[in-house]
Amino acid sequence: MARGRAASYDEQRDAILARAAALFARQGYHATSMNQLAEACGLSKATLYHYYRDKDALLVQIAEGHVTRLAALLDEVAALRLAPEARLRELIRRIVVEYADAQHAHRVLTEDVKFLPAQDRERILNVERRVVAGFADAVGALRPALREAALAKPMTMLLFGMINWMFTWMKPGGSLSHEALAPLVADLFLGGLPAVALPEPATVH
C-alpha cells in the first residue's frame, strides 16, 4: 500500500511558493533563476526540482492559486444572499483582507502571467475575468443605471485600481491594517458611486 505524502511536504511546497512569489515580485520572473529560488528556500537545486519541475510550474501555482482564492470569495459572499450594498461591502472587505498576505502573488498575477504558455495563461485569465464580472455584477445590482450604461465594469476596474496599489504605500505592521482599511475603501467607493454622472445619449444628426 502506497504511503501518503507527509504534511511537511505540502508545507514545504507552500513555503517555496511564498518565497518564489516574493522573488518574482521583487526582481521579475525572467530575472529569477532556479538557483536563486533554491538558495532563498534554503534547499539544493535538486531538492527544489523534487517539489516543482520548473519556473513555469511555480508561476502557474502562484497565479492560479491567488486568483482561485479570489473567485472563492465571490462564491462565499453569494451564498450569504446579502442586499446589494451589504454584498458589495462584504466583497470589498474580503478582497482587501485577502491582499494583506497576497501582495507578492497579486503582483505576479498582474505582471508575469503573460510569460506562461497560452493554455495556462488563458485558464488563469478566465478565472480573473470571472472575478471582475462578479464585482461588476455587484456594482450593477447596487446602481442598475451603471449596468445599463455599460459602466459597471469600468467602475469595478477603478475600485480594483484603488485596492491593487495599496501595497505601494501601506507599511507592514503600520498603524492601519487591511482589516481597518477595508471599510474606508468601501465608504469611499460607495459614497462616490451615486455621484457618477451617466453619459449623455449620443445625438443622431
From 105, 101, 115, select the one nearest 29 (Cα to Cα): 115
Q: What pLDDT does 204 receive?
A: 53
Place of cell 522573488: 23
Q: What pLDDT does 173 receive?
A: 77
List average pLDDT for each run of 10 residues in the chain, which is 205 residues long.
64 94 93 95 93 94 95 97 98 94 90 93 96 97 94 96 85 83 94 88 59
Place of cell 502573488: 105
74 Cβ contact list (under 8 Å, min separation 6): 91, 130, 131, 134, 135
First vs last Cα of the chain: how many Å apart? 79
107-153 tens-digit pLDDT? 999 899 999 999 999 999 999 999 999 999 999 999 999 999 999 99
Q: What pLDDT does 198 receive?
A: 87
Under DSSP, the state recorded for 65 is: H
| CATH 3.60.110.10 is the classification of domain 55-191 | no
